[in-house]
Structure 1
Amino acid sequence: MSEYDDAIRLEPGDGPTRRTGTFTEDWMIGNAVNGGFVMAAGLQALGEHLAADPAEETKHSDPVVMSAYFMTASAPGPFTVTTDLMRCGRMLSTGQISLSQPGSDGTPVERMRAIASFGNLEQVDTFKQSTPPDMPPPEQCVSSEQAPPEFLANMRFLERLDLRLDPATAGWALGKPSMKGVIRGWLRLKDAREPDTTMLMMALDALPPVAFDLGILGWTPTLEFTGHIRRRPAPGWLQVSLSSENVGGGMMEEDASIWDSTGALVAQSRQLCGVRLSTGRNG
């Protein structure tokens, strides 16, 4: 079993709609568990619910769309996912996900609530799609392992990834952000596990925040995230591109697109993030 599969493994909880797991420090960014990994855990629970539900005759196994709200940051430790199957249709099956953790007094604290739809992406016809950006091959890009030790010390999540940033969008790491609001890179899991549709939702939130390329180096917590999975990814590297056009009012959006090793668009997302312009602003 891969490191990723072991970390996302769930156990039956109290009743058919509840499953439990444990977040470890290995998947943390700063003081919180990576939001993409939290979403992947929620999707894993809903997928298992669908697979076991007798009403789910079409066996929808691929997440297609997910809209998630983050109420509080997830921490290392046990968590519970409660799922509610809302509708089983011919093309899609839709359910609600609530992920919670015990608070300081033992009372459950909800970390994330989401609605997600599953379908079958085994064969997808493509009429039109965006093309991947022109980037150097992975071996000519900047590995996250080259980041300063003090940066990596608070980014345990990056140790789980093989991340190579396009040099043209990595100037922020040297104190020279381009101020264009773009970060691109190649991505795969460090343990060589090949990507699947659930892992793609995590990959949409795996790169450093695009705010870094705007000289904003503080925490940018996700408030709302909507991701679309377009097809099952081919084995190999994922090519990820982040961008942002609007920052203001203490918030910014971050758009992400992922192409697989064949150049096919496999996932897209938009998230609304909190941002503090006074933190680490350069330029």
Structure 2
Amino acid sequence: MGDFLTATALVARGATAGAHEFGADLDGQWALADKPNGGYLLAVLGRAAAAVSGAAHPHLTAISGSFIQSPAAGPAVVTAEVLRAGRGSTQVRARLSQDGVPRVEALITQGLLGDAEPWWSGSEPVELPPLADCPRSPVEAPGGAFRIHLLEVVEQYLDPAVLGFMRGKPTGRGVFAGWLRLADGSDWDPLSLLVALDALPPVGYDLGVPGWSPTVQFSAYVRGLCAPGPIRVRATAGEVGGGHVDESVSAWDSKGRLVAQGRQVASVRLPGQG
């Protein structure tokens, strides 16, 4: 089993004209079939941003990534450039390339997160049955069409109320919710939370739109350090049309605090449109 720290590890190769270069080895377990998970790829870029930001701003607080072309598992090159280092945050531009081709690019904000309660919050944790009453999602996709390797390293326990899509009976609400925890027992941190924001099934499945839904753009915000234990995650569809679906995701820690939010636009192939 590939643990998250090892899967996102980087090897420094020096700097040229202000851009720091790192070697990465993309782990095939953090993937859907042969496609690395988008949140995992952003976490690799976040690891580089932390390395160049310094001790004052160790935590990723925001990231906006564009997915140009899906990389494969194996060697890759990550570059990171500090755009601005301020008192409260550091802004970084990062790129992941493979075979000399840019695959993912991101703008990243680094800061210092804490675990205090929010001064005000309009966010209520999604209501879920106890984790023990939610079945663990299988590694094999419905129908055995492909293998979701990510579910070997991230344990996913979906709310039974959303499992109709597995029987060909989606709810039509465009909502998925469930519990997530890292299979090796590690606690969630600001980088692994990016994986959590992209771990649930594509919301199109609950609308009767199955099939691979590749991410085009993904923005995420990490609000605080996560308390130990499993997290609750909810994904909701906004609108589907023009070959795209937008999806909003929220994650709450074991104390019920909102710790991360994400929003992404993904491509979809609608029924009857070829």
TM-score using structure 1 length: 0.90
Which digits, 9 at most, give the CA deviation of each residue in 1:20-73, with x for residues without a partner? 11113212213311111100000001101112xxxxxx6111111100000001
Deviates further, 158-167 or 15-24? 15-24
**1:174 aligned partner:** 167
**What is the one-letter code of the residue matched to 1:21?**
A
Shift of 1:142: 2.1
Alignment of 1:178-257 (within 5 A): 178-257=171-250
Taking only aligned residues, the RMSD between alpha carbons, in angstroms, comes to 2.0
Which digits, 9 at most, give the CA deviation of each residue in 1:200-223, with x for residues without a partner? 111111111111111111111110
TM-score using structure 2 length: 0.93
**1:277 aligned partner:** 270
**2:40 aligned partner:** 37
**1:76 aligned partner:** 73
Alignment of 1:1-283 (within 5 A): 3-15=3-15, 17-51=20-54, 59-102=56-99, 108-124=100-116, 125-145=118-138, 150-151=143-144, 153-278=146-271
Tell me, what secondary structure is at the counterpart of 1:22? Answer: strand
Which digits, 9 at most, give the CA deviation of each residue in 1:119-177, with x for residues without a partner? 11125443123011211011101211386675484211111111100011121011110
Q: Do 1:258 and 1:265's aligned partners in 2 also have CA atoms closer than 8 Å? A: yes
Which digits, 9 at most, give the CA deviation of each residue in 1:195-252, with x for residues without a partner? 0111111111111111111111111111011101111110001100000020000001
- Stretches of structure 2 lacking an aligned partner (at least 5 in a row): none
Q: For this pair of structures, how many residues does the alignment match? A: 270
Instruction: State the distance in 2 between where 1:82 and 1:153 align.
Output: 32
Deviates further, 141-150 or 236-245? 141-150
Sequence identity of aligned pairs in percent?
35
Cα gap change, 1:209 to 1:149, in 2 (>3 Å): closer
Q: Do 2:155 and 2:180's aligned partners in 1 also have CA atoms closer than 8 Å? A: yes
**What is the one-letter code of the residue matched to 1:24?**
D
Which digits, 9 at most, give the CA deviation of each residue in 1:242-275, with x for residues without a partner? 0002000000101000000000000111101101
**What is the one-letter code of the residue matched to 1:32?**
K
Instruction: State the distance in 2 between where 1:76 and 1:280 align.
Output: 31
Instruction: State the distance in 2 between where 1:279 and 1:90 align.
Output: 53
